[in-house]
Amino acid sequence: MSYTYEYPHPAVTVDVAIFSIRHDALNVLLIKRALAPYQGEWALPGGFVEIDEALEHAAARELKEETGVDAGYLEQLYTFGRPDRDPRERVISVTYFALIPSDRLEIRAASDAEGVGWFPVASLPELAFDHAEILDTAFERLKAKLDYSTIAFQLMPATFTMPELRHVYEVITREEIDKRNFSKKILGLGVIEPTGEEKREGAHRPAKLYRVIDRSKVDVIK
Amino acid sequence: MSYTYEYPHPAVTVDVAIFSIRHDALNVLLIKRALAPYQGEWALPGGFVEIDEALEHAAARELKEETGVDAGYLEQLYTFGRPDRDPRERVISVTYFALIPSDRLEIRAASDAEGVGWFPVASLPELAFDHAEILDTAFERLKAKLDYSTIAFQLMPATFTMPELRHVYEVITREEIDKRNFSKKILGLGVIEPTGEEKREGAHRPAKLYRVIDRSKVDVIK
DNA sequence: TGACTTAGTGTATAAATTACACGTATAGTT
DNA sequence: AACTATACGTGTAATTTATACACTAAGTCA
């Protein structure tokens, strides 16, 4: 079967930069390309948009198909369209930015990828296409949004301690944060509450556990 | 001539929401559609991306072709891709947000539009396609960026007075702003300087004229 | 020259952010 | 059982930033 148009049409893909916290570091999910071009190289999960499919749906679908991961939080990032960004044909990529809590990052078997893996943002392999640029844009978005939104909670498991949350901020901004001021600020947002439980972990005082009050209200501040 | 693909390809367009200040109001540039669908209705300037053309180039080109206007400031806004947003075929629109100073908004004769016009954002006609939604997104972006960037200067002519600049902020935010605090804040940014001239305009004390020191450095604050 | 109109300017208060130190609860060791 | 090591939890003072607020200055016109 083939499809014919009066004027040339670009192909449209979606690519997803999905972040998570693993082993005290910010990680991003990559797939090893099974097919040319860039065969065997690492790339962001993504693929062609179906002709009757919403863009965001395509992003979530490709992510799931290629990596087995369900995005927790998903928002459009930017559209990359340099004419020569794909050697096959003109390809315009609508990219998405995603986050997933660290207790849900199991990778399941995927069909069209030889390999799937989480990579620390600090030590990435060479990436196919312009995916390094996409990832850089996504990382900048993440850092910017830490300041004026509450998306950081999208990286946390169902319950978490204040030191764990603070550590996530520190890992992303690469800056040390004062315990007291941080706690004051976060609690002042009014979006988390103590569970009443504690987390004992090592030879020291246990930390209180918190949970997000309403997961759907985790958005822009004020 | 025709173009054939193994899989269906969407069409890709660019649409531009360009704002300016006219007669003390925020205006947006619209074109009257010469062809179906939505023939005779108003729409954002835009059109199909050439197969070897950068997206931003397409946005600037369509704007110029359809309205005769050269965008001063142009940035990507969002990509709209609802499957049914165009009745002809699947069309994905990469939209752009643009600003132009109020001393450069002459409209010249355009080829594929019966009419071109500036419309106050407060009283818009019905718009074709999903252009009302695009415009709304653009307006929200403009309001947000007033707070944390210096793009407002992109709406100003080569020289302008402090009351004129303040008025631009007031018109966009629809809030009254204190003269003294505003002046303090703007001058504190260090991006404008007095020209030494004054603007006499009516039966009252003349206002000092300012200019942007370096037009290329008008960007995000801090 | 007096009346009217808008421009220009500074200070005091409130709010938000930053800096900073010690007591507490646990696990492991003796 | 007592001691030690380790990370957790908490409040206040100082600084910075944002907000509120009123009078004098310079021009036009009658």
Residue with tokens 């550590």: A167
How do the domains of chain A map onto residue ranges?
Answer: 11-145, 151-212
Token representation of residue B119: 């419309």
Interchain proximity B11–A11, CB inside 8 Å: no
Q: Give the B-side interface with A, CB within 8 Å.
A: 1-12, 48-49, 51-55, 76, 78-79, 81-83, 90, 92, 94
DSSP class per residue in B76-143: EEEEE--TTSSSSS-EEEEEEEEE--TTS------SSEEEEEEEETTSPPPBSTTHHHHHHHHHHHHH
Protein-to-nucleotide distance from the CA of A201 to the C1' of D4, whole angstroms = 18
Tell me what ipTM this predicted complex has: 0.94
Identify from B79, B86, B94 which residue to disrupt to test chain A contact, counting A C-beta atoms within 10 A and taking the largest count. Answer: B79
Residue with tokens 């300012």: B210
Q: Which residue gives the smallest C-alpha to C1' distance to D26? A: B205
Instruction: For A56, name the nearest residue in chain B, comparing CA atoms only.
Output: B81
Report whether A110 contacts A64 (CB < 8 A).
no
Given 1.20.120.10, 3.90.79.10, 3.90.1150.10, 3.40.50.720, which CATH number is that of A11-145?
3.90.79.10
Is A211's pLDDT higher than 60? Answer: yes
A11, A30, A32, A34: which is closest to A87 by C-alpha?
A: A11
CA distance A99 to chain B (A): 20
- Give the CATH class of B151-212: mainly alpha
Is A205's pLDDT higher than 90? Answer: yes
Q: What is the pLDDT of residues B189-206, one digit of tens each?
A: 999 999 999 999 999 999
Name the average pLDDT for chain A: 94
Interchain proximity A48–B76, CB inside 8 Å: no
Provide mean pLDDT across the span A172-178: 97
Is B114's pLDDT higher than 90? Answer: no
Token representation of residue B9: 């390809």
Residue B186 has what pLDDT? 97
Protein-to-nucleotide distance from the CA of A159 to the C1' of C25, whole angstroms = 21
Provide mean pLDDT across the span B115-139: 97
Long-range contacts of A205-213 (CB under 8 A, 24+ apart): A207/A161, A207/A162, A207/A163, A207/A164, A208/A161, A208/A162, A209/A159, A209/A160, A209/A161, A210/A159, A210/A160, A210/A161, A210/A162, A210/A165, A211/A158, A211/A159, A211/A160, A212/A153, A212/A156
Q: Which of B4, B52, B79 comes nearest A83 by C-beta?
A: B52
Nucleotides, chain C, CB distance < 7 Å:
3-11, 17-21, 23-28
A37, A38, A42, A46: which is closest to A18 by C-alpha?
A: A46
Compute the count of residue pairs across chains A and B with CB atoms less than 8 Å apart.
92
Residue B138 has what pLDDT? 98
0.90 exceeded by pTM: yes
Report whether B171 contacts B25 (CB < 8 A).
yes
Residue B220 has what pLDDT? 64
Is A114's pLDDT higher than 60? Answer: no
Instruction: For B53, name the nearest residue in chain A, comparing CA atoms only.
Output: A83
Residue A140 has what pLDDT? 97
Residue A135: pLDDT band (50, 70, 90) is: very high
